[in-house]
Structure 1
Amino acid sequence: MTKLATLEFEQYLDHPPAVVWQALTDPAQHAKWWAAGDVGAEVGHRFTLEMGPWGAQRCEVLEAEPEKLLRYTFAEGVLDSVLTWRLEPEGHGTRLFLTHAGLDLDSEAGRAAHKGMGQGWPGLLAAMNTTIG
């Protein structure tokens, strides 16, 4: 039986949901805080994210609710995982929730991603606050 893991994070951002949504769905904004790629917010949209030494990772949008929810497959054929970004207004900013699900701990790539992303996501989300907007 395959053992799948999920990583969950949250980060308060000093930007309203519209600005955070733009950072998640606009290719130019997305490249500033994470990775270059033709991201979008239409269900069925297929895109790749340029992940440096890990290469281009294929993705497909599964669900999109503007300024509320974006869910897409991540690293198809490699990790076969799913990223879910949920936005909640909070004061003058946004509480951003990230769930990275489906990391296969029975595979070397899944274990490496679980460890690396488990350590990397918190810093990336914190830095996002200063690179967007």
Structure 2
Amino acid sequence: MNPHSDTLTTSDGRNALRMERRLAHPPEEVWSAITDPAQLGRWFPSEVTVELRPGGAMTFTMPGVSDVAMTGTVTDAEEPRLFAFTWGEDHLRWEITPDGDGSLLTLVHTFGDRFGGASFASGWHLCLTALSQLLDGEPPAVERDTGELHEAYLEQFDLGRGVVQDTPDGRQIRFERQLVRPAGTVWAELTSGDEPAVGGPAPAGFTAQEVPGGPVTEVRPPSVLAYRWHPEGTVRWELGVGTGHGARLVLTQTCPQGCDTDAALDAWHDRIEQLAARLLAD
């Protein structure tokens, strides 16, 4: 199962994660494993009920995670080649084609949150490994990703880059990145035990080489820190809810006229990747 064959594409605000796996089993066996709730529950990330027909209702329940079941609708059910359904706002399409004495299984997961792409890919990678084990007659036994697989997909899909945006208040640099540790752990790494206060200096962890620190203007541990790096410019770090692995970082820097946005983009990219590497090592 080679993750380098997996792709992530974006069009009209929607993202399509495509993953192909060759399975040493005929399409009929694969079909049963991806549509029978008893088998689904052994490798899929939730317990599922399904009315196996186009328009049929589905529910997705994660025991111990939420008491509220998510719902979906079957969009395609063509035994033994195509099973597709909605899951909340996402769409999953499973296509099975004969491949010698086995099958080629293609998953296309369509979703809105581009920066969750590495989380989805690493999660499906483990699920598909468990599916293969189940088909081989083995008890599915896949260790949880501690972050390495997520970070490999994030690099492969180039999800760590920032952008320069034009806003009513001027130009702004923006980074959004999924991290692999919770907000409290990230905050501790950024502050190094030196808790910031409004009016005081921004801790070095929140600064970058091309962006000097300045007085803190807002602080709400472990979620928000903002400071003024220039008389007309601010930096803001926000750590919010992410996609399974940890906190979602959104970093913005307002850029007054004359600001070197290219240098700032490079500096922040380096700083965030250093942070991500430290979190992974810890």
TM bucket, shorter chain:
0.7 to 0.9
How many residue pairs are counted as aligned between the two chains?
A: 122
Structure 1 length normalisation: TM-score? 0.82
Give the whole-Å Cα distance in 2 for the aligned partners of 1:40 and 1:17.
20
Structure 2 length normalisation: TM-score? 0.40
Percent identity over the alignment is 31
Which one of 35, 43, 49 corresponds to residue 54 of structure 2? Answer: 43
Give the whole-Å Cα distance in 1 for the aligned partners of 2:61 and 2:35.
15
Runs of 4+ aligned residues of structure 1 deviating over 2 Å after TM superposition are 51-57
Q: CA deviation at 1:56?
A: 2.4
| CA offsets 1:85-122 (integer angstroms, 9 cap, x no match) | 00011122111000001x213xxxx643x231122112
Is 1:8 matched up with 2:18?
yes
Q: CA deviation at 1:123?
A: 2.1
SS at match of 2:84: strand
Counterpart of 2:75 in structure 1: which amino acid? Answer: L
Which residue of 2 is the match for residue 27 of structure 1?
Answer: 37
Give the whole-Å Cα distance in 2 for the aligned partners of 1:40 and 1:10.
26
Question: Which structure has greater strand proportion?
Answer: 1
Which residue of 1 is the match for residue 71 of structure 2?
Answer: 58
SS at match of 2:119: helix
- Computed over aligned residues only, the root mean square deviation of the Cα atoms, in angstroms, reads 1.8
Kept after mapping to 2: 8 A contact 1:23/1:30: yes
Q: Structure 2 matches for 1:1-133, cutoff 5 A?
A: 3-34=13-44, 35-52=46-63, 53=65, 56-74=69-87, 76=88, 80-101=89-110, 103-105=111-113, 111-112=115-116, 114-132=117-135
Identify unmatched segments of 5+ residues in structure 2.
Answer: 1-11, 138-282
Give the whole-Å Cα distance in 2 for the aligned partners of 1:124 and 1:49.
15
Give the whole-Å Cα distance in 2 for the aligned partners of 1:40 and 1:87.
20
| CA offsets 1:29-73 (integer angstroms, 9 cap, x no match) | 111111321134211111112234265221110111101111100
Q: Highest CA radius of gyration, 1 or 2?
A: 2
Give the whole-Å Cα distance in 2 for the aligned partners of 1:12 and 1:40.
27
